[in-house]
Amino acid sequence: MEFQQMRYFIKVAECANFTSAAKELYVTQPMLTKAIKALEDDLGTKLIERTSKSFRLTDTGQLFYKQACEILLKYDDIYQAINDVKSIQKGQVKMSIPGVLIEVYFAPMLAKFGREHPGIDINIIEEGSKDTVKSVMSGKVDLGLAMLPIEYASEMNIYIIISDAAHVLMCEKHPLAKYSVIPIEELQDQPIITFGDTTTLHSEFLKLCTQRGFKPHLTYKTMMANFTFQMVSMGQCIALLPYPVIKHFITDDLISRPIAPSIDWNIAIISKKDRYCSYAAAHLLAFMRDYFAQLTGKPEEHTQDM
């Protein structure tokens, strides 16, 4: 059994299709089929059952997929560690970040990091918090920024860098402006724009509404802050957004109010516990923790190595 065979099998399993997998691997389909057959012969068991209309992993195929993913992550870590030793001041970091955080915080932060660490390149993937967690878990990225709570918390290193809350954004003459703190029940019949399904804010808001016995009227779901502010400015809806985002984009004709009960907006840098942390990733992590501590005027609330 060879590492290349494992890589081939993982891609086939993820695509659930030999033709698509072959295209992504830049090999021919017959070559890929032959490699998987040789792998099955080596293991003495069938890993995939397929017909012209169906594709599924066998029980042993599912087990092998999970184990192969873990083995290849460790294999890649070895090469990353060796490359770190060979090129001390250089490297690349893959990081998953919700788009709204990129808009609000990351241009000045990355510019400062680039001046201090010119040999480190950062590859940013824009994803909601839920997808960020999946990317960190799978090894697709080295670091992620996500709103708490998150899945798989016990398998993550968690460093909280921003602590705030969600507010309701509205035109200054909106009826809800009379409240200093808006009871969440008052949002029941309001057209609302907020973040999309892949975000934790969206899930936490729906959960809170359900606990209060109603389903909110979500007219739009988007991570595009400028679009959200334009729609609110035109009186089309109100918005539920983190207060730091509102503060960054707000105009004179808009106001915001907290809600009760509140929805905490705690943003954390996350990394997977058992993964090798490269020189580049370690320096970016330390830089971000220090940068946000200075930005907020206080140290991290706490660091969870859960």
Is the pLDDT higher at 216 or at 2?
Answer: 216
For the segment 253-276, what is each residue's pLDDT rounded down to a tens digit? 999 999 999 999 999 999 999 888
- State the amino acid at position 297 in one-letter form: G
Residue identified by tokens 């809806």 is 237
**What 3-state DSSP class applies to 272?**
strand
| Strand-strand pairing, 182-183 and 254-260 | parallel
Query: To the nearest whole percent, how much of the chain has pLDDT over 90?
Result: 55
Q: What domains does the chain contain, in order, with CATH numbers?
A: 3-84 (1.10.10.10), 88-161+267-305 (3.40.190.10), 163-265 (3.40.190.290)
Q: Classify residue 242 as exposed, middle or buried by CB count within 10 Å of its CB (0-12, 13-18, 19+).
A: buried
> Torsions phi, psi of 142, nearest 5?
-85, -40
**What 3-state DSSP class applies to 112?**
helix
Picking from 271, 303, 266, 224, the residue whose alpha carbon sits closest to that of residue 94 is 271
Neighbouring CB atoms inside 10 A of 47's CB total 22
**Is the distance from CB of 99 to CB of 201 less than 8 angstroms?**
no
- State the amino acid at position 280 in one-letter form: A
For the segment 280-302, what is each residue's pLDDT rounded down to a tens digit? 898 899 999 999 999 877 655 54
**Is the distance from CB of 159 to CB of 303 less than 8 angstroms?**
yes
CB crowding 94-109: b at 16 or more within 10 Å, else e: bbbbbbbbbbbbbeeb
Picking from 242, 220, 206, the residue whose alpha carbon sits closest to that of residue 98 is 242
Q: What angle do CA 21, 23, 28 make, to 5 degrees?
A: 95
Instruction: Name which of 29-38, 49-58, 165-174 the model is least confident about.
Output: 49-58
For the segment 217-257, what is each residue's pLDDT rounded down to a tens digit? 999 999 888 899 999 999 999 999 999 999 988 888 999 99
Picking from 179, 178, 200, 216, the residue whose alpha carbon sits closest to that of residue 267 is 200
Most confident of the following: 15-29, 70-84, 136-150? 136-150
Token pair, residue 96, equals 């998953």
Mean local confidence (pLDDT), 64-86: 78
